[in-house]
Structure formats: structure tokens, C-alpha cells
A and B are shown apart, each in its own frame.
Chain A
């Protein structure tokens, strides 16, 4: 079996992707010593690389555009190359946070109130009036984030209207459109889903307690700056509800093989959907590997089984 792990790319999450790629490639080599596991960047030589290596399966571990927006997966489909993870359609739905949130909310799952505004709206209608309307509609505190992209890049918690301009500027550094969402105070939980024998199965929940207010880039990738509880410290009813939300999001967005849904649970036990990652991080500090370990599943073995099927 020839497997090609794709990582890198040109997105701001290139470094995270490279780390995910190296880790998964090594795990696959350990799990299947007889397989030929190679790694490649996504660059102008990609098509040549795919032709030359003629992989039986590709493991796309790209984060951000191209890796998560579905385009690379569409290309692999067009080339008739099998790959791990969701197809282009699922990738597109999950990668766009407002689209995913709308779909999930439509199925009756709680989603914190949100608005989606492109940079042009502020320019054309007058930023001050638009920001004032945002504050009146959503209220403070609120969260500003780019509609696309991960690793909390460009995300900020905003406590007053005075902080809004700077937060929006930060989000627009990473995308042309910002999602402005009500802040929910509660327990942040990541719920992994993995398909075992083709059946989506919820993994043990990982509760995230960053040292600071935000589970930001630093908190995600500096070991020691965030405390994780796996299983999460919630009662069984809430845990079951979180897992159900993750499984339903996985199905609603048409995802395949694996995903990670992030939710927040408030004091009343309400589970609110934040986002689903169709290409979750697999670095040393990422959430899905922790959930797999808690389920006594080896990451390499799990991905090898997906490939073998």
C-alpha cells in the first residue's frame, strides 16, 4: 500500500499542518511497517507528485483554505485517487462557519446568535452605524471571528463597542467576511467523531480550560498553557447530548471518516454548537489525538483501518 500524506500548503495554518502531517505519517509507519508512507507539500508540483508516486490513498492534513475548503478533495476525486476524510462538498459546508451554523441550527441544535458581515458592508454603510447595530442586536460580550480558517487566528472576545473596530480589523486580516457571535460563558468541549467499520462513533469528550480567556493560537500549540480534561467534567446526560450534537453535525454536514465538533455548555446544561472541523489538527497538542488516546485507539492504526477499507 502506498500512502501519501499531504501537509503544508500556503494557509496561515501551514505550520500546524506540517506538524499534523509529520505526526500522522510517523504513526502510520509504526502501525503499518510494510506500507510505503511518503509526505509531500501542496505546491505547484502536486499533480506531478501524485502522478509519480501513484498513491493508493492520500491523507490530506491541510488546514485552512485548499485543505479544508473542499477544493483539494474535489481534485483528488477528479483524479480518481482515494483519500481519508470528507469529500469536497462536506469540506465546503464545514469550512464556512456561518453555513455550517445555519445548517446545524436548522436541525434544531442550539447555536449562539450570529451575524455575518463582509468588510464591504462596513465601508459602504458606515462602520460606526453598522457596529452600533451589531452591539444592539448581539449584545456584549461577543465573539468576532473570520468566517473561514482555524486555530483561532483572527478571533477576539469583545466586551464593548469601543473594542469592536480593532476586533473586526483582526478578523479581516484573515478573511473578507467576519462572523459576529454572542459569547456564551460555559465549558468548552471538543467532541471527536470517527467512523469505525463505517459507523460514525463519538469519542470521549475533551474539555478545554485555557489559562487565558481565549483558547487562542498560543494556548493551542504551547504545551502546558491549557488544561485538558478527558473525559470532560460534565454529567452523563450532558455528555450524551454533546456526543449526539457531534454525531448529528457530522451527518448534517455530510462528513466522512473523522471530524471534530466544538461546543460550549452553559450553566443550565444547554449545548451550543460552535463549529465542526472536517480536517481536525493532529499535532502533539491537538484535541482529536487526545480523544483517540482516551478511547484507547491508536491514531496510526485508526487511520490505517480507514485507508484499508
Chain B
């Protein structure tokens, strides 16, 4: 007699759905959404800094002046006026292209989904950084790619390690389809590649005939003046460049884009039409109207200042309060710092204690596909006010002290049980 599994379709799911399970880490993040908890976990941009009155006017103008277009289906490739305006934005990081080289997507996350959709068969190798963006890892896994981490130093992907990873994969008879990199203000590592490193990585990709997938959502959010130039600025045939308005305007609009070589772009457009028919016209026209009528560069500066102040609050309090043996990266832009705990500590097993102490972070294991990162955690400074950040770090320091005591007692602070399922927060967590 068969029992009940409470899901009559359990035998029908695709192999790629196997990792999609309930997660006790996700459950802990549910607590982190409460106001008592200082959440240094999620990556929600601080959209409250926007001029809401002006945005209300922008939205009203879109409906009043172009309502019939805004509320209708649009082009699968995206609105042509917006694509022209996107070139103005990408010009800030040196990306020059023709509007036809751009495809507008539902957030750059969708572009991130489309690229392996058109390039990767199950088992194809994708080389990613150590650590890497969890949203990209999820996509690559969904397409059943063989995801391999490549070592980074404080300057990003290590060229020697990258070449070695390519050689190893090819020696094993594997096809390498993509090198995925976040060169500026990395999520989660908080570091940036300098210009020389970008050139080295591009040269390796070119010499080995591998497409470079450059993800650049934070490029304009630097704290030190001139925005770093994108790798795509150096090569218009070997790079697919992903950009987003989520951090420079608002994540809720869900407007991002890809700049791709002609042949790739054709396939991306067809794949995008299959997925969503077209990006939201309403959202695109809102962004377009905003770029045309609002001081968007000034708004980016406002965001830079807010995030710089919060980064400083984080770094100062880490410096003042973290127990000896704790290390962290110093971001020159973006949202995140990557923390390495003292030896023997496990950020995943520490999380319940942190949440009980009313502070949340993301354990490092979520940014790897292979179980690395137990000693690491990601701290986000984008959303909480500086005083809350200081309080959060104070609480976290206490939690780490307790964890050190556990490690002294038991010789380890690693839990026997490593939770399965999603180990990073849902997108709506601060």
C-alpha cells in the first residue's frame, strides 16, 4: 500500500527541480523581516531616497500621455527609445553600442536566465568566481550546468587560477560555455577588479574562445569618483554585458538589459519572447520618462552618498567591535562586505543564534555550489540606517564571541547538519 506524499506530482518533477525544497535558513530569514531584527542580510536598495513626488508625476505623465502604449504589449526586444537612453547610461562605464545591440529584460536577472538558456546544455561548464552571486548560481544550476568556482584575490578572479580551471575542464573533455564575472563592487565579495585585471581576464576568455558574461548592476554605485570601466568597453564581440536600473532607480520597476553581439542578441530576443513575450511596457516607459525628465545622474550621486555613509558605519563598527581573527573586505562601492570568521566557526550554524540576538546576515555557503563558505558571511549595508548598522554589528560581535566559546569548548563550531534548500533570503528581505 502506498502512502500519501501530499503532492500527487512528486514523481513528475524535472531533475532540475530537485534542489527546490523547504529551507530552515529561509525560515530564519522570515524572522529577520521583523523590525526588531537588524537585517544585514538582504540586498534591498534604499528606494526611500527617491523623490517620490517627482516619480508620481513621471508615472502620471506616462499614463496620461502614452497610456495606450504603456498598457499594451510591446516589442520583445524592448522599447527603442529606452534602448537609446540605456546607451547613455552604459556610456558612463564605457560601453558603446548600437541600440539594436540591446535587449531590455525584466530586471537583469531575466537576462541572466536567458544567456545560459541559449548557450548551455546539461553538463556544460560555467566558470564562476569564489564566491559568486547566488541568483546566477541558481540559474546555472537550473540549466544543469557544471558550475565550477575559480579562486579570487582582493583584485577579483585570479588569472592563473582561471586558466588552470579552463585547462582542467578541457582535459576532462568538458565544454566550457561561459565565464561569469561581476567585476565592479562584487556581490557578495565587495571587491572590484582593477583595469589590468579586467584586461587579463578578457585576454584569457578571448584566447580560449569562451564567452564572458559580465554582470554589472553596481557599476555606477562607486564611492571614489569615476565609475570603473566595463570589460565590455574593451571587446564588443566576446562579452555579453548585463545592466540594471534596480540600483540606480528602483528595483520594483524590474527593468534591466543585456548588451550582446549581434548573433547572440538575436537568440536572446527570441528566447525572451518565449519566456515573457515582452518586457513590461509600463515599466519601460516609466524608466524612459524618468531618464528624460528627471536628474537621474544627480539621483545616482544621492544613492552613492547614502551607501558610502552606510559602508563607513559598517566598516568603522566592524573595526571597533569584531573579535580578533575576523576579517572583512573593504568595498569601494555597491552594497556588500564579505566577512571571514575566525578559524573553526561556521556561519550557517551560527545563524539561529544571531537571529535570536536580533541580527541577520547571509551565511557564505549560499554563494557556492560546492559547500565552501562555511567560515564566511555576507553583510549588506544598503538598507539599514547607519545607527542600526552599528547596533547590528554590536549584536553580531556578541554572537561571534559566544560562538568562539563554543568552538573552544567543543574544538569546533561546525554543525553536523548542513541545511538543504535555499540558503539566502528572498528578494523582499531588507
A residues lining the B interface (CB < 8 Å): 8, 10-16, 18, 41, 43-44, 119, 122-123, 127, 151, 153-156, 158, 163, 165-170, 172-174, 207, 209, 216-218, 220-230, 233, 284-285, 290
Report if A169-B352 is in contact (Cβ < 8 Å); known contacts: A223-B10, A226-B5, A227-B4.
Answer: no
Report if A173-B349 is in contact (Cβ < 8 Å); known contacts: A10-B31, A227-B5.
Answer: yes
B residues lining the A interface (CB < 8 Å): 1-7, 9-10, 13, 21-24, 26-28, 30-31, 34-37, 346, 349-353, 355-356, 405-406, 408-417, 419-421
Q: Quick check: B22 and A221 within 8 Å, CB to CB?
A: yes
Residue in chain B with minimal CB distance to A221: B22
- List chain A residues, Cβ under 8 A from B9: 224
Report if A218-B31 is in contact (Cβ < 8 Å); known contacts: A122-B409, A122-B410, A233-B1.
Answer: no
Q: Quick check: B352 and A218 within 8 Å, CB to CB?
A: no
Q: Quick check: A154 and B21 within 8 Å, CB to CB?
A: no
Residue in chain B with minimal CB distance to A158: B416
Report if A169-B7 is in contact (Cβ < 8 Å); known contacts: A10-B36, A217-B24.
Answer: no
Q: Which of A8, A10, A12, A228 contacts B24 (CB 8 A)?
A: A12
Q: Which of A127, A173, A220, A223 has the most CB of B within 10 A?
A: A173
Q: How far apart are the CA atoms of A17 and B354 in the complex, in Å?
A: 20
- List chain A residues, Cβ under 8 A from B409: 119, 122-123, 127
- List chain B residues, Cβ under 8 A from A285: 6
B351 to chain A, nearest CB (A): 8
Q: How far apart are the CA atoms of A62 and B356 in the complex, in Å?
A: 16
Q: Which of A11, A12, A163, A226 has the most CB of B within 10 A?
A: A12
Q: How far apart are the CA atoms of A272 and B239 in the complex, in Å?
A: 63
Sample of 17 further A-B pairs with CB below 8 A, known A41-B34, A170-B415, A222-B21: A10-B31, A14-B30, A15-B26, A15-B27, A123-B408, A154-B352, A165-B411, A167-B417, A224-B5, A224-B7, A224-B9, A224-B13, A226-B5, A227-B4, A228-B3, A233-B1, A285-B6
Q: How far apart are the CA atoms of A168 and B412 in the complex, in Å?
A: 10
Top 8 nearest A-B pairs (CB, nearest first) are: A224-B10, A221-B22, A170-B415, A223-B7, A166-B416, A15-B30, A165-B410, A224-B7
Report if A11-B31 is in contact (Cβ < 8 Å); known contacts: A123-B409, A217-B24, A222-B21.
Answer: yes
Q: How far apart are the CA atoms of A259 and B224 in the complex, in Å?
A: 60
- List chain A residues, Cβ under 8 A from B421: 218, 222
Main secondary structure of the interface of B (DSSP, over half): loop
Residue in chain B with minimal CB distance to A146: B352
A-B contact pairs, 25 of them (CB 8 A): A10-B31, A12-B27, A12-B356, A15-B30, A16-B27, A43-B36, A122-B410, A123-B408, A127-B410, A127-B411, A151-B27, A158-B416, A163-B416, A166-B414, A166-B415, A170-B349, A170-B417, A209-B3, A220-B22, A222-B21, A224-B7, A224-B10, A227-B5, A229-B1, A290-B6
Q: Which of A15, A41, A154, A169 has the most CB of B within 10 A?
A: A169
- List chain B residues, Cβ under 8 A from A153: 24, 352
Q: Quick check: B23 and A14 within 8 Å, CB to CB?
A: no
Q: How far apart are the CA atoms of A224 and B6 in the complex, in Å?
A: 6
Residue in chain B with minimal CB distance to A153: B24
- List chain B residues, Cβ under 8 A from A284: 6
- List chain A residues, Cβ under 8 A from B408: 123
Q: How far apart are the CA atoms of A174 and B24 in the complex, in Å?
A: 12
- List chain B residues, Cβ under 8 A from A221: 22
Q: Quick check: B30 and A218 within 8 Å, CB to CB?
A: no
Q: How far apart are the CA atoms of A155 and B6 in the complex, in Å?
A: 24
Q: Quick check: B3 and A167 within 8 Å, CB to CB?
A: no
- List chain A residues, Cβ under 8 A from B35: 43
Residue in chain B with minimal CB distance to A42: B34
Q: How far apart are the CA atoms of A13 and B411 in the complex, in Å?
A: 29
Q: Quick check: B34 and A43 within 8 Å, CB to CB?
A: yes
Q: Which of B5, B36, B346 contacts A223 (CB 8 A)?
A: B5
B202 to chain A, nearest CB (A): 41
- List chain B residues, Cβ under 8 A from A119: 406, 409
B342 to chain A, nearest CB (A): 15
Residue in chain B with minimal CB distance to A18: B30
Q: How far apart are the CA atoms of A170 and B411 in the complex, in Å?
A: 13
Q: Quick check: B412 and A207 within 8 Å, CB to CB?
A: no
Q: Which of A122, A158, A173, A207 contacts B353 (CB 8 A)?
A: A173
Q: Which of A14, A43, A156, A170 contacts B27 (CB 8 A)?
A: A14
Q: How far apart are the CA atoms of A151 and B27 in the complex, in Å?
A: 11
Q: Quick check: B22 and A14 within 8 Å, CB to CB?
A: no
Q: How far apart are the CA atoms of A122 and B413 in the complex, in Å?
A: 14
Q: Quick check: A169 and B6 within 8 Å, CB to CB?
A: no
Residue in chain B with minimal CB distance to A15: B30
B421 to chain A, nearest CB (A): 6
- List chain B residues, Cβ under 8 A from A223: 5-7, 10
Q: Quick check: B23 and A12 within 8 Å, CB to CB?
A: no
Residue in chain B with minimal CB distance to A220: B22
- List chain A residues, Cβ under 8 A from B352: 12, 153-154, 173-174
Q: How far apart are the CA atoms of A44 and B36 in the complex, in Å?
A: 9
Q: Quick check: A165 and B3 within 8 Å, CB to CB?
A: no
Q: Quick check: A227 and B355 within 8 Å, CB to CB?
A: no
- List chain A residues, Cβ under 8 A from B30: 14-15, 18
Q: How far apart are the CA atoms of A12 and B30 in the complex, in Å?
A: 8
Residue in chain A with minimal CB distance to B415: A170
Q: Which of A173, A222, A224, A290 contacts B415 (CB 8 A)?
A: A173
Q: Quick check: B417 and A229 within 8 Å, CB to CB?
A: no
Report if A14-B31 is in contact (Cβ < 8 Å); known contacts: A220-B22, A228-B5.
Answer: yes
- List chain B residues, Cβ under 8 A from A11: 31
Report if A166-B412 is in contact (Cβ < 8 Å); known contacts: A10-B36, A15-B30.
Answer: yes
Q: Quick check: A167 and B6 within 8 Å, CB to CB?
A: no
Q: Quick check: B405 and A169 within 8 Å, CB to CB?
A: no
Residue in chain A with minimal CB distance to B26: A15
